[in-house]
Chain A
């Protein structure tokens, strides 16, 4: 049986170009968890491990049940602020985020509930209760590859915004990222992150 690899099947959604590009992303299914706080800090890391625990538990349980196999996609994140201010003007502790892992459509809510129960019965990752399955439509987005530390994203974002202006597009207040490299292991200067900014026509 072949494994579904959504990251490869939807290559055009994950273009990692060195210049900003305009793409259109269709509605898709994601395993998600919401939260608030600085990326890389406690609540964020806890959410990441809950999301991965669920992703692998669902995948391998379905495999056991002969429901097919798939590859766990890269971690994605949407960041926004509850206030009217743009993200770069508020403290990171107040950032809201949604962490997501793209998941095949045939994964069902019952799979999620079952996995959460199994994990909770072992009493480890309590936050798995907050993981859910949802559909999301990014729509039109400007996307670009950022190589380097997360703190240096500004230079890439500026290029994306300049591109938006020439294309007569307005970036939304939401900032999205797809993590290509593993920040635990890859030195900051070599980290690869796809930055994504949903846009609307001006």
Chain B
């Protein structure tokens, strides 16, 4: 069953890769890409970059450059035209980027026999002239070791303050939330501190990242000040523990979505992930911070998986 799921993730990603390559000159939307691979758009980017080691944007940029390299060697097209084909406004900008990847300028590359565009893809994906990518090597981390527990949780009522911007600045939201709940006696007992992040920092600009700082509250909690209330929906979650600085959380997310999920018998559900903070970042050294990451999941039905394979 496990193998079936992974194969399914793989063949679906291959479909996306070919779609990207065929439409290399277009701006592809998240919905379009996810639909092509029959993934839900919700966590698509995380699964994609987790399995491939690069984001859709990075891949597109790289494939365009690889295509330019081929054009340089096999056509007489001007470098300016090749630059524009690769999505650059000028040949200068193109040349600069090209040199940073290949080590030599496009003009030198064109003159040098046997010059090769270096392979930088961790998943062995290259631009294919024949137009079809048949497979790839999903990123396998050598030290990949991840303890994951499947938990069934009840839905939780939380008081929250939203934050938009770099994750490093969400402390303001926490201060506001904690200082509003403290005088009400809501910081005691089993109150849990949760963070809900709605975006993938690999894809979304830091200033646009949306995050909710949440604290669990009793059911009779009344809305106050600027504190809002929402429900974290219950159900099945895969849970892994991240130990270390919050700045490295995205690495763990990448492994969780890119390594663990495709090898599991689950799919991610269309709900955001959330984090539970188990110690106080003010008095704990960053390397000792403990965070549980909850990924909403649904069990893959064997029948469905087989259907998708066919």
Contacts and interface: CB of A to CB of B under 8 A. Distances in A.
Interface of A: 3, 5, 7, 49-50, 53-54, 56-61, 63-64, 71-74, 114-115, 117-122, 124-125, 128, 181-182, 184-186
Contacts of B218: 122
B187 interface: yes
Interface stretch (B3-11, B134-142, B150-158, B279-287): B279-287
24 contacts: A3-B282, A7-B283, A49-B188, A53-B187, A54-B188, A57-B182, A57-B187, A57-B188, A59-B182, A60-B179, A60-B187, A61-B182, A64-B179, A74-B283, A118-B184, A121-B185, A122-B184, A124-B188, A125-B188, A182-B290, A185-B243, A185-B278, A185-B279, A185-B290
Given A56-B178, A60-B178, A61-B179, A118 B282 contact: no
A181 B183 CA distance: 29
Contact of B283 (A49, A53, A71, A125): A71
Nearest to A52: B188
Interface residues of B, number: 25
A57 B187 CA distance: 6
A7 B284 CA distance: 11
Contacts, number: 86
Nearest to B180: A64
A61 B183 contact: yes
A88 to B, nearest CB: 30
Label chain A's interface by main secondary structure: helix
Nearest to B185: A118
Interface in B174-230: 175, 178-190, 218
A72 B175 contact: no
B178, B278, B279: most-surrounded residue (chain A CB, <10 A): B178
A57 B282 contact: no
Contacts of B187: 53, 56-57, 60, 119
Contact of A124 (B175, B189, B241): B189
Find the residue from A7, A122, A124, A185 having the highest chain B CB count within 10 A: A122
Contacts of A114: 183
Contact of A71 (B180, B190, B282): B282
B288 A63 contact: no
B176 to A, nearest CB: 9
B304 to A, nearest CB: 38
Contacts of A181: 288
Contacts of B190: 124
Given A72-B282, A74-B283, A184-B278, A119 B185 contact: yes
